[in-house]
Amino acid sequence: MLLFGLIPLALLAVYVVVQARRRQRLRRFTEAEVPQSWWRHVPVAVALLSLFLLTVALATPTHDMRIPRNRACVVLIIDMSNSMRATDVEPNRLKAAEQAASQFASQLTPGINLGLVGFAGTPYLLVPPTPQHEATLEALKKLEFADGTATGEAIFTALHAVGAAAITGGDTPPPARIVLESDGAENVPLDPNAPQGAFTAARAAKAEEVQISTISFGTPYGTVEYEGATIPVPVDDQTLQEITKITDGQAFHADSLESLESVYSTLQRQIGYQTVKGDASLAWMLLGAVLLAGAVLAGEFLNRRLPA
């Protein structure tokens, strides 16, 4: 293709040489400067430009295109622990999480299998991954508070759901992602490196090539009432950030419903669409052809009307 790219330059050089020799021949008959209009060079310049564009088209250029995914698996994990009762995000953390997750589920592209895991001290697979996103929307309305935060077990539950969807999904497993939303550190078990701990589960996800995106949700000023006492439940980012670090995922933080919806909107664009290379040669070819036709017409018009 490099040789084709040199053709317009070679033709330009030939044109310059021809014009120089033409001026030399004219000087044989007269010493006076013969006026020439620069307009006569326009058709040649346009023709050379068209040849350049056609040469680019021959190189089959590409451009990036965003298209909806028609095959993927996503499992949402929502924290239902009692700390999610905190009203630092109105009406409370869990209700705000339900609302934002519902918006995410309703906007996700139809070809994606979406599942839902709710967890506190025990995880529950509320919706196995399915393209029927209405099931997730209904399940999100029924989340209930409970004691404990078993983040690792929730991740393992989501991984099992991803594996089951892969078995029934065709010859090759679809790309999978886990989205984990929580407000605090794991306490079931206390050690995240225990067999059922969060970091152990994250390493298992890494081994299965499943990225985990985390959303730490809440403010440092959250509180809950327990037996007449006010207990602070500040949001904890550290555990979730380490999970994303292990799995090469992304960590987000949201401290309001609006910022949480923005995070889910970002995830929806990342998960629901993929960037592929598209053929851009047709546009270059059409533009080159139009310019070439214009050069021919301009040449006919100018050669008839301009003096030599």
Q: Coil, strand or helix: which one is 69?
A: coil
Same domain, 72 and 57: no
**256-285 confidence digits (pLDDT tens):** 999 999 999 999 888 866 665 667 677 767
Interval 234-241 mean pLDDT: 94
Same domain, 242 and 220: yes
Residue 306 clears pLDDT 50, i.e. is over it? no
Interval 9-34 mean pLDDT: 55
* Confidence at residue 28, expressed as pLDDT on a 0 to 100 scale: 59
Residue 194 clears pLDDT 60, i.e. is over it? yes
Higher pLDDT among residues 127 and 17, named by residue? 127
Backbone φ and ψ for 244, nearest 5 degrees, come out as -70, -35
Same domain, 6 and 107: no
Question: Are 271 and 245 a contacting pair, CB within 8 Å?
Answer: no
Q: pLDDT band for position 308 (50/70/90)?
A: very low
**77-107 confidence digits (pLDDT tens):** 999 999 999 999 999 999 999 999 999 999 9
Tokens representing 223 are 């509180």
1-10, 87-96, 130-139, 186-195: segment of lowest average pLDDT: 1-10
Residue 253: which H helix or E strand, with range? Answer: strand 251-254
Question: Are 181 and 79 a contacting pair, CB within 8 Å?
Answer: yes
- CA–CA gap between residue 182 and residue 13 (Å, rounded): 68
3-7, 124-128, 272-276, 298-302: segment of lowest average pLDDT: 3-7
Q: How many CA atoms lie within 13 A of 213 on its CB side?
A: 16
**41-71 confidence digits (pLDDT tens):** 666 677 767 777 777 777 777 766 665 667 7
Sign of the alpha-carbon dihedral angle for 297, 299, 300, 304? positive
Backbone φ and ψ for 225, nearest 5 degrees, come out as -95, 130
Same domain, 26 and 124: no
Same domain, 101 and 22: no
Same domain, 228 and 102: yes
Same domain, 233 and 149: yes
Residue 1 clears pLDDT 90, i.e. is over it? no
Instruction: Report the number of distinct structural domains present in the chain.
Output: 2
- CA–CA gap between residue 72 and residue 109 (Å, rounded): 10
Domain, as residue range, for 46: 2-61+280-305
Same domain, 33 and 150: no
Tokens representing 176 are 């999978």
Same domain, 151 and 265: yes
Looking up tokens 């439940």, which residue turns up? 233
Same domain, 229 and 159: yes
Cα–Cα nearest to 145, from 189, 199, 86, 228: 86
Same domain, 119 and 102: yes
Order of all β-strands in the sheet with 176-182: 123-130, 112-119, 72-79, 176-182, 211-217, 251-254
Interval 108-115 mean pLDDT: 90
Q: What does the mean pLDDT of the chain come to?
A: 83
DSSP E strand stretches across 51-111: 62-68, 72-79
Partner residues linked to 217 by β-bridges = 254
Q: Omega into 91 within 30° of 0, i.e. cis?
A: yes
* Confidence at residue 304, expressed as pLDDT on a 0 to 100 scale: 55
Angle between helices 2-27 and 42-58 (to 10 degrees): 170
Q: pLDDT band for position 171 (50/70/90)?
A: low
Same domain, 139 and 268: yes
Q: What is the CATH number of the domain that holds 246?
A: 3.40.50.410
